[in-house]
Amino acid sequence: MKLWGGLTKGENTGLSWGISVLLAAVIMIVCIAEVPVMGIARPQEEYSVVLLGDSIIGNIFEGEGIPAYLEEQLGKKVLGGGFGGTSATNEERIQQPYSVKDQLNLVKLSEAIVNQDFAAQKAQIAYGEHYRYFINETLEYFPDTIRNLSDADFDKVEYLVIEHGTNDYNRGTRLDNPEDPYDETTFGGALRTSLELLQNAYPDVKIILMTPTWCCIRWEGITQNCDNTDFGGGYLEDYANLEIEIAKECGVYLLDNYHDSGICQETQDQYLVDGLHLNLNGEVLLASRLADKIREIENSRNEEQ
Amino acid sequence: MKNRFLSIRKVLLHTVVLLAMMQILLGAAWAVLNLGRLPGFRETEELLQIADTMTTDEYVGILYPVFIRIAGLLEKLFHVPYYGFLYLLQLAVGCYALLKVLEGFRYRFWMALAVMTIPTVNQLFLAVLPQSLAASALLLCLCHCRKGDLPKGAVCWLLAGLLLPEYFLFCAVIFVVCLIGCGLRESRVWSRTFVKGIIGMLSVCLLAGVVNGFAVERYSRGRMARTPEAAILQRFVWPHFSDTYYFWRNEIKEVFTEDDMVEISRYPEGPMYQFGPELERVYGLDTARDYYLGMARITLRIRTKEVLKDVGRDFIQYAFPPVALVNNLRGRGVSYSGWNYGHMLGENGKLTQCYVFYACNAFLAVLLLVCCCGILSFAAGKGEKIGKRKKSDSLVLSLLLLSLGLTLWYTLSGAGIQDYKNVMPVSMAWGILMAEPFFGRKEGA
Chain A CB contacts of B341 under 8 Å are 119-120, 123
Residue type at B36?
A: G
Chain A and chain B share a number of CB contacts under 8 A equal to 155
Q: Residues B238, B271: contact at Cβ < 8 Å?
A: yes
> How confident is the model over A119-158, as pLDDT tens digits?
999 999 999 999 988 888 889 999 999 999 999 999 999 9
* Facing B342 at nearest CB: one of A2, A12, A103: A103
Provide the domain count of chain B: 1
Determine, yes or no, domain membership for B276.
Answer: yes
**How far is it, in rounded angstroms, from Cα B329 to Cα B343?**
13
Q: Are B19 and A24 within 8 A, CB to CB?
A: yes
**How far is it, in rounded angstroms, from Cα B247 to Cα B241?**
10
Residues 6+ apart with CB under 8 A from A249: A192
Given a cut of 80, is residue A260 above it in pLDDT?
A: yes
**How far is it, in rounded angstroms, from Cα B127 to Cα B84?**
10
- Overall CATH class of domain A45-304: alpha beta
pLDDT given for residue B440 in this prediction: 67
Whether B333 and chain A come into contact, CB under 8 Å, resolves to yes
Give the lowest-confidence range in B21-25, B85-89, B148-152, B409-413: B148-152
Q: Are B357 and A19 within 8 A, CB to CB?
A: no
Q: Residues B49, B128: contact at Cβ < 8 Å?
A: no
> How confident is the model over A165-198, as pLDDT tens digits?
999 999 999 999 999 999 999 999 999 999 999 9
Given a cut of 90, is residue B142 above it in pLDDT?
A: yes
Confidence of residue B189 (pLDDT cuts 50, 70, 90): low
- Percent of chain B residues topping a pLDDT of 70: 95
Given a cut of 70, is residue B443 above it in pLDDT?
A: no
Given a cut of 60, is residue B388 above it in pLDDT?
A: no
Confidence of residue B444 (pLDDT cuts 50, 70, 90): very low
Residues 6+ apart with CB under 8 A from B257: none
**How far is it, in rounded angstroms, from Cα B62 to Cα B204?**
15
Domain that holds residue B253: 228-304
For B:186-205, CB contacts with A below 8 A are none
Instruction: Report residue A206: phi and psi, to 5°.
Output: -95, 120
Q: pTM for this structure?
A: 0.92
- What's the Rg (C-alpha) of chain A? 23
* Facing B357 at nearest CB: one of A23, A31, A126: A31
Among chain A residues, CA nearest to B7: A16
Residues 6+ apart with CB under 8 A from A93: A185
Helix (H) or strand (E) holding B400: helix B390-411
* Facing B349 at nearest CB: one of A28, A38, A111: A111
DSSP string, B115-171: HHTSHHHHHHHTSS-SHHHHHHHHHHHHHHHHHT-HHHHHHHHHHHHHHSHHHHHHH
Confidence of residue B190 (pLDDT cuts 50, 70, 90): low
Q: Are A16 and B14 within 8 A, CB to CB?
A: yes
Helix B63-78 × helix B150-163 angle, to 10°: 80
Give the lowest-confidence range in A80-94, A232-246, B12-26, B408-422: A80-94
Residues 6+ apart with CB under 8 A from A188: A175, A176, A177, A181, A242, A246
* Facing B339 at nearest CB: one of A16, A34, A124: A124
Given a cut of 80, is residue B384 above it in pLDDT?
A: no
- Percent of chain B residues topping a pLDDT of 90: 79
A27: closest CA of chain B, how far (Å): 7
B415 C-beta neighbours (distance < 10 Å), count = 24
Determine, yes or no, domain membership for B391.
Answer: no
Given a cut of 60, is residue B235 above it in pLDDT?
A: yes
Residue ranges covered by each domain of chain A: 13-42, 45-304
> What is the ipTM, given to two decimal places?
0.91
The pLDDT of B417-432, averaged and rounded, is 96
- Percent of chain A residues topping a pLDDT of 90: 74
Q: Name the DSSP letter for residue B243.
A: T
Given a cut of 70, is residue B303 above it in pLDDT?
A: yes
Q: Residues B424, B132: contact at Cβ < 8 Å?
A: yes
B402: closest CA of chain A, how far (Å): 27
Chain A CB contacts of B421 under 8 Å are none
Determine, yes or no, domain membership for B172.
Answer: no
Please choose, from the candidates B56, B38, B120, the residue with its C-alpha nearest in 3D space to the C-alpha of residue B419. B120
A136: closest CA of chain B, how far (Å): 7
Chain B CB contacts of A143 under 8 Å are 331
B203 or A42, greater pLDDT: B203
Residue type at B135?
A: A
Confidence of residue A97 (pLDDT cuts 50, 70, 90): confident
Given a cut of 90, is residue A43 above it in pLDDT?
A: no
Task: Report in angstroms the alpha-carbon separations of B130 from B65, B113, B134, B428.
Answer: 9, 20, 6, 15
Chain A CB contacts of B267 under 8 Å are 96, 98, 135
Q: Are A31 and B10 within 8 A, CB to CB?
A: no
Determine the 3-state secondary structure of B330 from DSSP: coil
> How confident is the model over B126-141, as pLDDT tens digits?
999 999 999 999 999 9
What are the helix (H) ranges across chain A?
2-7, 13-32, 55-58, 66-74, 106-115, 119-130, 132-135, 142-151, 166-170, 187-201, 236-250, 257-260, 268-271, 280-304
Determine, yes or no, domain membership for B294.
Answer: yes
Determine, yes or no, domain membership for B324.
Answer: no
Q: Which of B13, B21, B234, B341 to mutate to test the interface with A (most CBs of A within 10 A)?
A: B341
β pairing state of A216-219 and A222-225: antiparallel
Q: Which of B6, B10, B417 to mutate to test the interface with A (most CBs of A within 10 A)?
A: B10
A228 or B94, greater pLDDT: B94
Average pLDDT for chain A = 90
Residue type at A231?
A: F
- Residues A151-188: b if buried by 16+ CB within 10 A, e if exposed: bbebeebebbbbbbbbbbbbeebbbbeeeeeebbbbbb
Residues 6+ apart with CB under 8 A from B435: B16, B20, B105, B111, B114, B115
Given a cut of 90, is residue B112 above it in pLDDT?
A: yes
Determine, yes or no, domain membership for B222.
Answer: no
Given a cut of 80, is residue A203 above it in pLDDT?
A: yes
Helix B108-116 × helix B82-101 angle, to 10°: 130
Chain A CB contacts of B268 under 8 Å are 98
* Facing B331 at nearest CB: one of A10, A21, A123: A123
Given a cut of 90, is residue B329 above it in pLDDT?
A: yes
- What's CA B4's distance to the chain center, in Å? 40
Determine, yes or no, domain membership for B445.
Answer: no
